[in-house]
Structure 1
C-alpha cells in the first residue's frame, strides 16, 4: 500500500519474481508501476507491506550501498552524465578509497567491466557521444558492477530501432543465462512475449494478474490491462488527398543526417517517415520544423517559405510539432496543464500582452476534454502527470492553434494501449479537419494510419510505399534488402 495524500498509488499490490527469470510488469499509465519501482529500489517506503530479496528483508532506506548490491534500475530517462567519460560514469563516487584517483587503474577496471558484459564501448569515450543503445548498456554494466543480480528495465526500447532492440534482447538473454533476474516494464506487448517468461498486470493501483507468458493469449493480456476487450487500432478510411500542399521540402540536405530530400504533404494526407535509427528520418523531421539549419534546400509551410533553422518562423507559418523527447522538448514540467497547452496562443488570450486566466482556463478545459487528459484540472503541473497524459498535453499544444501541417515524432513511445489510440486518433482528427501530417515512428502499427510511407536508408528516401503494405515488405525496405 502506498498513498500520496488522497491519491492511492498502490492498493495491496505486489509482485513475486522467480530467481533467474525475466518478468514483465505491464499496465496503463498511472496503474502504479513507477510507484512500485520506487519502492523496490528503496526510494520510497511503503505505507503497508514489505520488500524481500531472496527471502530477506530489504535494507534500511538510508543504506544506499546495500540497496545497490541487491537491485538496480535502468530508467527510461538516462542517468549517465554526458560530460564524464564512460569509465567515470561506471565508477562514479567509487573512483578511490583513499582520496586519490589512479586514472590508469580506473580505466583498466572499466575496460574489464565492459568486457565482462560484452559492451562494445570505449572506456575513455565521453558519455555524451554515445548513442541511446550504448548508454543503456553502460547503465546495465554499472548496475551489475555493484553486485546486484536483480535489474529493473524501465521502457528500455522506447527510443531504440529494430536492430538495436534485437541486440538489447540478445544481451538480456545472455545475462539471464548468467543468473541475472530482470523485471521488464514495457507498453510494447509483443516484446513481453518475445523476451519474458512471466507477466504481472497492474490496473488502477492493484495487481490483477500474474501468468506465464506462454499460457496467456494476447487479447486476455490487453483486457487485463484495460479492464475491457480492446481491439487493435484501426486506421480510418480517407479519400485521396487532393488538397493544396501544406508542407514541402526541396533538395533538403544536412551533413551527416540526410541528403537531397524532396517531400510534399497535402491537406488531408498523413505521410509516414520510416527507417532505422541511422536513416536520417528524425533529423529530417526536426529540420522541417527548424530545429536544425539545413546545409541546402528549402522548407515551405502553408505557402510560406520559412527561414532555415527558425522554429518560431515555422510555427508562425502554421506548423504544429510533437517532438521526440517530450520530457526535454515537449513541455515545461513546473507549468500547469493549461499553461503548457495554451503556450502557442498566449497572445490571443488577452490584451496588451496580459493573458486572461479565465480565457486560458476555458481553452485548457476544452483541450482536456478533447484529448481525454487524465488530470486533476488545468492547474495541475504537467510534471505530475503519467507519461501518456503528459504526451497528450504535448499534442494539445501542437494542435491548439489549428495548424495547417503537423510534424509528429515517435508519438506513442512509452504510452499505454488506450493512450496510443487517443494520440493516433488526434492526428487523424487534425487531418480530417484539413491539416497535413508527417508522422515519424519506429512503431509499424503507428504508420498504418499513413496514406503513404517514405522509407529512408542512409540519409536518402529510397521508396514511397502506399497504404496496404505488410510488415515484411516495409521492414525489408527499411533494412536495405530491397528498394
Structure 2
C-alpha cells in the first residue's frame, strides 16, 4: 500500500509553470527524500499534498483514496501534516495550547478544561517520546523541541504521513542525530515521512528512496542505495557541480579590520579575542551550545556584550546597536532569514538596498531608477531567479530569498562581512553562487567571518576557529579534514594548531 501517490500533477501560476506533469509515490512506512534545486517545484508539490493548493491537472490519493476537498481541513489533518522550516508554533502560547490549538474543547463542551488539556498534552508528548513540559511557553523551546512538538501535534490528529521540510537546517550534529533516531522509531511504528533537504549526506543516512525534481519536472526516482552522491547532484543540476575549491584571491593583507578583545556574554561565551585581516576569510564552527551564533550577534549589534570591545577598522562599535554596526562598515547575513533577513511584502530591490537607501537619492527621497539599477546588478551577480527587481521577495524560493539577504549584506561594500549559516536551506547551485560572492567580497578587500556548522561553508576559509562551551577550543589552518574539525566541535578532539 502507498501512503500517498501524486500522478501527472501540473500547476501554473500565471505564465510560470511550477509543476509540469510530475509524479511521486511514497510507500507506506518509508522515509522518501524529495530533492532539487530551489525553484524545482518541491514547495509547490508540498502545497498540493497538504491541501493548500489544487493542481490544475492530475490526481492525489492517500492510501488509495482520493484527496479530500480543499475546504475539508479536518480531513486533511488526518491524512498529512507538514513540519516546515519556518515553525508554525505560536511562541506566546504554551506547548499544550499549541498541541491542541483550535480544538481546546476536548469534549466539545462550551467550557475549556485547562487541567484536562494539560494532562492530554502530557500524554501525547509522552506517547511520542517528546521530553517537553506542556506548561511552558513555546517561546522557550529550542528549534529541535519545536520540531518535535509539531510532529507530535501532527500525529495527534491521526496523520501517519509527515512531510519534513528542511528539518535540520538550524540543528547541530547531536540534535540532528536525535531527530533521526526519533524518525526511525516512528517509522518502525508505521509513520511515513517525505524528507526534503539540501544536505545530501542526510539523504543517504536516513532515507530509503529519493525523488529528484528539476525545472518543475520529475527527473528520477530511485532507491538511495543505487545512487552515488555525484549521480544525485547531477540529477538535481543537470551538470557536475563541485564545491569546496577556493578561487584565487589576493594575499591576505596585514591590516586588521575586526578586533575583538576579551568579549563576554553571560553563559554564552567569555574571554574571546579575535582579529580578522583585510581579505581574510575566517570560519567559526561549534555546536548550538558553543556560543558561536551569540558571538556573531554581538559583533553585528543584535546583542549587547557584558564585557569586552568590538572594533572595526580601528573604531569601537557601540554595543548592542545594529545601526552603529552598519554605519561602522559591517554587513551581515543573520541566522534566520525569515525573522531578521528580509521584509516580506517589499520588493527585491527594496530589501537588497536597505543599507544604502540614503545614497540613492537627495533630500530624503529615493530614486527608484537608481535603486533598480543597483538591484539589477546584484540580481545578475548572485544569479537570483526572478522576474525583476520589483518582485515581492516573499514570492521567491528559499535559496533566492537567501541570495537577496546576501545582496543586502554586500550592498554597502562593507569592511567586515559577518555571515551566519549563509547557505542554510539552499540547493547545491545556490550554495555555489553564495560562496562565490563571499570569495569576491574577500578579493575586494573585505574581512569575512563565516559562522556555520556546514563544512562546505568552511572549506574556503583561510582558517577555522572551533568554539566549545563558550571558549575557542581549537584553530585550524586551511586543509583541515572533516574528522579532525568535527571531533573538536563535538568535544572529543584537539586542535591541530597553526
Query: Aligning the two structures, in what range does the TM-score lie when normalised by the shorter sequence?
Result: over 0.9
Match status 1:73 vs 2:82: yes
Give the match for residue 278 of structure 1. Answer: 289
CA-CA distance at 1:231 after TM superposition: 2.1
Give the match for residue 89 of structure 1. Answer: 98
CA-CA distance at 1:147 after TM superposition: 0.4
The one of 191, 205, 210 aligned to 2:221: 210
SS of the residue 2:387 aligns to: coil
In 1, Cα distance between equivalents of 2:373 and 2:136: 51
Give the match for residue 279 of structure 2. Answer: 268
Q: Contact 2:244–2:460 (CA<8 Å) still a contact in 1?
A: no
Trace 1:215-364 onto structure 2 (pairs within 5 A). 215-238=226-249, 241-364=252-375
CA-CA distance at 1:402 after TM superposition: 1.0
Give the match for residue 424 of structure 2. Answer: 413
Q: Unpaired segments of 5 or more residues in structure 2?
A: 1-9
Give the match for residue 447 of structure 1. Answer: 458
CA-CA distance at 1:240 after TM superposition: 5.0
Deviations 1:358-413 (A, max 9, x none): 11111111111111111101111111111111111111111111111100000000
SS of the residue 1:69 aligns to: helix
Give the match for residue 23 of structure 2. Answer: 14
Match status 1:116 vs 2:131: no
SS of the residue 2:369 aligns to: helix
Trace 1:350-429 onto structure 2 (pairs within 5 A). 350-429=361-440
Match status 1:137 vs 2:168: no
Deviations 1:60-79 (A, max 9, x none): 11111111001111011101
SS of the residue 2:26 aligns to: coil
Give the match for residue 34 of structure 1. Answer: 43
CA-CA distance at 1:233 after TM superposition: 3.4
Deviations 1:266-295 (A, max 9, x none): 001111111000000000001001111101
Match status 1:51 vs 2:54: no
How big is the alpha-carbon RMSD for the aligned residues of Structure 1 and Structure 2? 1.0
Worse-matched range after superposition: 422-431 or 359-368: 359-368
Q: Contact 1:243–1:268 (CA<8 Å) still a contact in 2?
A: no
CA-CA distance at 1:357 after TM superposition: 1.4
Worse-matched range after superposition: 193-202 or 301-310: 301-310
SS of the residue 2:220 aligns to: strand
In 2, Cα distance between equivalents of 1:430 and 1:437: 8
CA-CA distance at 1:232 after TM superposition: 2.8
How many residue pairs get matched?
Answer: 483
In 1, Cα distance between equivalents of 2:89 and 2:370: 42
Q: Contact 2:250–2:443 (CA<8 Å) still a contact in 1?
A: no
CA-CA distance at 1:464 after TM superposition: 1.5
SS of the residue 1:347 aligns to: helix
Give the match for residue 438 of structure 1. Answer: 449
In 2, Cα distance between equivalents of 1:429 and 1:200: 34
SS of the residue 2:18 aligns to: strand
Give the match for residue 70 of structure 2. Answer: 61
In 2, Cα distance between equivalents of 1:426 and 1:244: 22
CA-CA distance at 1:238 after TM superposition: 4.5
Give the match for residue 180 of structure 1. Answer: 191
Worse-matched range after superposition: 153-162 or 221-230: 221-230
The one of 106, 123, 140 aligned to 2:117: 106
SS of the residue 1:279 aligns to: coil
- TM-score when normalising by structure 2: 0.96
Deviations 1:306-350 (A, max 9, x none): 111111111111111111111111111111111111111111111
SS of the residue 1:15 aligns to: strand
Q: Contact 2:341–2:405 (CA<8 Å) still a contact in 1?
A: yes
SS of the residue 2:57 aligns to: coil
